[in-house]
A and B are shown apart, each in its own frame.
Chain A
Amino acid sequence: MAAADDVERLARELTTELGLPHDEAEAVAAQARRVVAAVRGLEALALGDAEPAPVYGFAP
């Protein structure tokens, strides 16, 4: 879970790496916090023995 530990720092690094305006780092960080929280919220779902859906060939 280290990727989300320093969201602001990673957002700044990404925008610098891509030559983007510095104020965009804030917008990226804000979105990242929301998305990471939603995804990590899946921990509350009882996954049991569930396997991952295959990327290809997935159909109900």
Chain B
Amino acid sequence: MSDLHWLGVLDLARGIATKKVSPVEVLQAHLTRIEQLDGRLRSYLAVFADSALEAARAAEAAVAAGGSLPPLHGVPVAVKDLFAVAGTPTTGGSRFLTEPARADATVVARLRAAGAVILGKLNLHEFAYGPEGTNPHFGTPWNPWDATVHRLPGGSSSGSAVAVAAGLSPAALGSDTGGSIRMPAALCGVVGLKPTYGRVSRAGVLPLSWSLDHAGPLARRAADAAAILSAIAGADPADPSSSRQPVPDYVAALSGSVRGMRIGLVGEYLRQAEDEVQAAVAGTVATLERLGCVVAEVAFPTARFALGASLGIIAPEALAYHAPLLSRHAREYAPDVRQRLLVGRFLTATDYVTAQRARLVIRDDVEQALRRVDCLLTPTLPVAAPPVAAVELTVRGRVETPRSAFTMFTRLFNLTGHPAIAVPCGLSRGGLPLSCQVVGRAFDEASILRLAHAYEEATDWHARRPAVA
């Protein structure tokens, strides 16, 4: 097989299981790729070449021995450096967290149990507190869609999206508190899935905001995200927020029909996006209608309060975790992250409780819409990737920071907890990826994955490759 680095999770798993390709070859292809490109892309903070090679050799021996193999047998997966991997530090993208983890995060252990080979730890916006994906300590990952201009990769899971987009890993884990899986996935032209709150354990993941944090996969196809989700989802005694809801086989669920699915287009969000984003989403609507879906506009009267509710929760929760670290390492934080953390000191306990009350009202609003439709459709972002140097953007005539623009359509679903997936749906005039977001009912990841998969089968946006690749 050639171009092993462009094969997806399921193709690699099938190839390995049928002995068409060896896990060691697959790993070597990715290690070579990382060596060739990552000096510039800066997606990895650590590459576990030795331990991964050892795991790949063991996987190869297991294939040779025959017998049944776990679903991700021999498939490399990399994780955001917010997830604990035993024996290595979880830096959170900082320079001062250097203590090696004593145990794997639950999701890392589950990936290993499913046969995956842990390839390395990925760059991120420091402590996952920023949607731009910048990192002054290790260098901001290079969005691979522009070979000449350093554009924002999106964050906070910036390294995860860049590595997957550039063929440096077939899939990655990220975390999402206001859009941190979906935003970088959108800007880098890959799929990013934020599962339902409680669907995936966060035990062993550095927290940003306990009640908004979600863990989930990034991959180049929805089917590959489904395979990763199947491996990591489910109750975990180590995470009190994890749910006991049964975990379906998400890969098997991809094959159902989408004909007759009712899709609520969030017009209020669509109209806030730039023209080229609106055109891409209109194209998505046309494709979904050709597939037999019924698309109608929906509205959330309380959506405009999502920003206030989100900030009222994230700022105090983030500061509560970081206060002891700040008192010892304040000067070692990136200034933007430090400033965001300090804002938590300006809010009162009443503000926090009010935000958590508002959250339920907002969630009920979205729940009502999801009783009338099977899923919601929005743009993931209002714009394509701006240059790293951009301090401000103009979005439909309004001046926004990248931070405020990026989170416009994503943070609502961290508040409500509904599952949401970002899917490539076009290219800008400048050849940069555009993305739409599909949001499902609670614990119905299967439907949004099925819809995303059907959309991919009908289009080729997911198959486009970036300039630096």
Contacts and interface: CB of A to CB of B under 8 A. Distances in A.
B417 interface: yes
Contact of A35 (B198, B315, B416, B442): B315
Interface string B410-448: 000000111000000000000000000000011100000
Contacts of A7: 346
Contact of B345 (A14, A39, A45): A14
Contacts of A45: 302, 305, 358, 361
A59 B331 contact: no
Contacts of B340: 31
B355 A1 contact: no
Contacts of B335: 24, 27
B308 A41 contact: yes
Interface string A26-45: 01100110011011111111
Nearest to B419: A60
A42 B343 contact: no
Interface in A45-60: 45-48, 50-60
A35 B358 contact: no
Given A20-B338, A38-B308, A58 B331 contact: no
B241 A10 contact: no
A2 to B, nearest CB: 8
B357 interface: yes
B46 interface: no
B348 A1 contact: yes
B343 A31 contact: yes
Contacts of A18: 326-327, 330-331
Interface residues of A, number: 41
B318 to A, nearest CB: 12
Interface string B319-343: 0000000110011000100111011
Contact of A4 (B346, B353, B363): B346
Interface residues of B, number: 50
A39 B326 CA distance: 24
Contacts of A39: 308-309, 311-312, 347, 351, 354-355
A59 B346 contact: no
Q: Which of A27, A40, A52, A57 has the most CB of B within 10 A?
A: A52
A48 B358 CA distance: 10
B354 A47 contact: yes
Interface in B356-379: 356-361, 363, 367
B240 interface: yes
Contacts of B343: 28, 31-32, 35
B197 interface: yes
A41 B241 CA distance: 29
B28 interface: no
B339 A42 contact: no
Given A4-B346, A28-B343, A45-B305, A19 B360 contact: no
A56 B312 contact: no
Contacts of A19: 330-331
B305 A42 contact: yes
A22 to B, nearest CB: 13
Contacts of B418: 60
A56 B354 CA distance: 17
B334 to A, nearest CB: 12
Contacts of A14: 342, 345
B354 A59 contact: no
A53 B302 contact: no
B358 A31 contact: no
B357 A36 contact: no
Q: Which of A1, A39, A44 has the most CB of B within 10 A?
A: A39
Contact of A53 (B305, B345, B359, B442): B359
A31 B417 contact: no
Interface string A1-16: 1111001001100110
A32 to B, nearest CB: 4
A11 B343 CA distance: 9
Contact of A38 (B307, B317, B331, B359): B307
Contact of B346 (A15, A32, A55, A56): A32
Contacts of A27: 335, 339
10 contacts: A3-B345, A19-B330, A31-B343, A32-B343, A35-B311, A41-B308, A59-B196, A60-B363, A60-B416, A60-B442
Given A15-B342, A19-B330, A59-B197, 20 more contacts: A1-B348, A2-B348, A3-B346, A3-B347, A18-B330, A24-B335, A31-B340, A35-B315, A38-B312, A39-B351, A42-B308, A43-B354, A45-B302, A45-B361, A51-B357, A52-B356, A56-B241, A57-B198, A58-B197, A60-B418
The 6 nearest A-B residue pairs measured at CB: A52-B356, A18-B330, A60-B442, A39-B312, A59-B198, A32-B346
